[in-house]
């Protein structure tokens, strides 16, 4: 395991990491009271190869979690892109295929809950790309990109 991250929601921690053996992002939930693991097996966030250099940002909206993954379709020459996965404190991944946030390219993402929607940002080509991602459960809508930079 490499590049761990953790978030808290409603009495539960979600710990995520890069699994270099399987080239995937994995995670487990643990009770905040005593750190008892709540998942018998690690949760897999996406089956596509992930970037081995990027920590998977994990954030909470208070009721559940989101995990941002820089992933690849596994096709030579096709660039990495960003996906967002949602998981509740008690249930499975709400969108197992992930929600594709951008078409191609980009650096290490950052992720935060604004109180009404998710915001993801990353660097790309000398600028910063920002996406506002709104959704309930497994349904998402991405607003138009906002570019900041030179």
Higher pLDDT, 138 or 131: 131
Q: How many CA atoms lie within 13 A of 112 on its CB side?
A: 6
Query: Does 149 have pLDDT greater than 80?
Result: no
Instruction: Classify residue 36 by its DSSP letter.
Output: -
| φ, ψ at 80 (rounded to 5°) | -65, 155
Comparing 51 with 87, which gets the higher pLDDT? Answer: 87
Please say if the pLDDT value at position 13 is more than 90. Answer: yes
Side-by-side strand order, sheet with 12-19? 2-9, 12-19, 24-31, 43-45
Per-residue pLDDT band for 11 (boundaries 50, 70, 90) equals very high
Q: Which two tokens stand for residue 133?
A: 């991602």
Would you place residue 70 in the very low, low, confident or very high pLDDT band (cuts 50, 70, 90)? confident
Q: pLDDT tens for residues 52-61?
A: 667 788 999 9
Could you give the residue ranges of the DSSP H alpha helices within 12-146?
A: none
Maximum Cα interatomic distance, the chain, rounded to a whole number of Å: 48
* Residue whose structure tokens are 């929600």: 99
Q: Could you read off the pLDDT of 92-134 as tens digits, one per residue? A: 888 888 888 887 777 788 899 988 888 888 887 778 888 888 7
Distances (CA, A) of 89 to 82, 126, 143: 23, 37, 26
């Amino acid at each position: 395991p490499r590049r761990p991250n953790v978030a808290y929601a409603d009495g539960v921690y979600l710990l995520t990491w890069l699994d270099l053996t399987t080239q995937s992002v994995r995670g487990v939930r643990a009770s905040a009271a005593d750190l008892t693991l709540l998942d018998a097996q690690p949760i897999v966030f996406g089956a596509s190869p992930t970037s081995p250099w990027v920590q998977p940002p994990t954030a909470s909206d208070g009721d559940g979690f989101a995990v941002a993954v820089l992933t690849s379709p596994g096709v030579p020459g096709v660039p990495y892109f960003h996906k967002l996965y949602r998981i509740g404190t008690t249930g499975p991944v709400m969108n197992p295929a992930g929600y594709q946030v951008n078409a191609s390219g980009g650096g290490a993402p950052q992720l935060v809950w604004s109180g009404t929607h998710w915001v993801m940002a990353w660097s790309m080509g000398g600028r910063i790309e920002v996406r506002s991602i709104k959704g309930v459960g497994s349904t998402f809508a991405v607003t138009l990109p906002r570019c900041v930079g030179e």
